Amino acid sequence: MIIEKITDYKWRIPKSNFPFMRVDGIIYADETLIEAIKSDKTIEQIANTASLPGIVGYSLGMPDAHQGYGFAIGGVAAVDLKEGVVSPGGIGYDINCGVRLLATDLEFDDVKSKIEELVKQLFHEIPSGTGRGGDLKLSYAELDEVMKLGIDWAIQNKFARPEDKDFIEEYGRLPNANPDMVSNKAKERGRDQLGTLGSGNHFAEVQIVQEIFDEETAKSFGLHKNQIVVLIHTGSRGLGHQVCTDYLKEMDTAMKNYGIKVPDRELACVPIDSKEGKRYLQAMASAANFAFNNRQLITYNVRNVFKRLFKTDKVRIVYDVCHNIAKIEEHEIYGKKLKVLVHRKGATRAFPKGHPALPEVYRNIGQPVIIPGSMGTYSYVLVGTEKAMEETFGSTCHGAGRTLSRHKAKKMMSADEAVSKLRERGVFIQATTKSGITEEIPEAYKNVSQVVEVVHQAGISTKVAKLKPIGVIKG
């Protein structure tokens, strides 16, 4: 396959590579990362995504891109609202997997003598692990309310402060949610999973703000050096996974009825305005609203631990962003404003200052972009840019991106070795299982600092702060 270098941080997959490509593919990467991206089917998947009916602009890949289901993880595709399709593979199994950054009024010196106790208490309060449920078991009627109301459900039930919603993407609620479009099997899987981390690459980390790159923006986000922050990374758990499973199966059959052919059946899709498309988007919004509440209940428990241990109730949300979602947005494409459905799978929204979707407090600054690293490595806070709006439908990377399979990672070192290495870096870890540690060792991932440097140099989001973990909670 022909891949052309455009700049030091940008590569093109010309649509002349395959007759089915409707647009070019564009990948953001440096020389090292493009080689890592070439090592699996990522480039092929970005090219395949360019075949979607109604796709506009480019099929995009971020520097953390790696092979996924249908779409590459780290992929972005926008489709015309009238002529385009929706593809569950372009959102992923973990609908509204995302990250939330909490800032405290504490500094490292305030907590250093109690780090182990803090991590132990957080681990006790935040259920973690595959299929693990929490203390809250909802009735179907209550679960429907969670999915319909989004974060307003948590506010009504005293799990959130009224001001929390101002610091969550879409104010914590996708409006077109319809729980009737979510199967009973999906609901049964999710009923007891609010406030739980799950497994895989999900985590909660206690971190220190180690470095500030942009003083003014950091101050606007309420961040300063040596401050203690908490990063939460999880999504819609079994409920979202089942929604994706249900609709992939339905669309695999239905797309034949619409005369749609794609080069990979994992790209199963239907027209946005078809009955299947509308049903999926309503179910996806329901799962997304569940995920906002999931991160909110974890926030509630984090606040309780900090209040108990440090007598502070000053634990506020900096921002909460999705990185597996599809949303209707307006973008300038081919010189005119167009309403499109933007699929972001392993990609983060990065809107610039002045954008009406941003909360008032950040409107003149730009959107906070939260980028988690691999376990025990750095995470970053970035800010959205105008260039992202021009080039990537207001999108940027979402994390480090895997380079090793979980199977290979487990063979690299034992859980005890991994824990010992983390302790040498000053990171205390609590995990549900040994495999939860070995599958997620930092060596299984790309270098997050390199990934962030690419998007910073490319101008599709810029660096604000670097966060160093001191405590990790894993499934």
SS3 assignment, position 356? coil
CA dist 451 → 63, 116, 458 (Å): 6, 31, 11
* Residue 225 CB coordination number (10 Å): 14
Q: Is 264 exposed, middle or buried (0-12, 13-18, 19+ CB in 10 A)?
A: middle
SS3 assignment, position 87? coil
Tokens encoding 180? 């009737």
Instruction: Spot the catalytic one: 66, 331, 343, 398.
Output: 398
Q: What is the rounded (10 degree) CA torsion for 283, 285, 287, 288?
A: 160
Q: Which amino acid is located at 399 in the chain? A: G
398 labelled catalytic: yes
SS3 assignment, position 121? helix
Tokens encoding 446? 């790309």
Q: Tell me the CA end-to-end span of the chain in Å, nearest whole number.
A: 39
Q: What is the DSSP letter of 393?
A: S
77 contacts: CB under 8 Å, gap ≥ 6? 49, 52, 55, 59, 60, 71, 90, 342, 343
Distance of CA 365 to the CA centre of its chain: 22
**Tokens 């991994």 identify what position?**
418
- Rg (C-alpha) for the chain, rounded Å, is 21
Q: Is 35 exposed, middle or buried (0-12, 13-18, 19+ CB in 10 A)?
A: exposed
**Tokens 């935040």 identify what position?**
126
Distance CA 37, CA 273 (A): 34
**Tokens 């910073």 identify what position?**
456
Closest CA to 396 of 451, 349, 447, 345: 349
Residues with catalytic function: 398
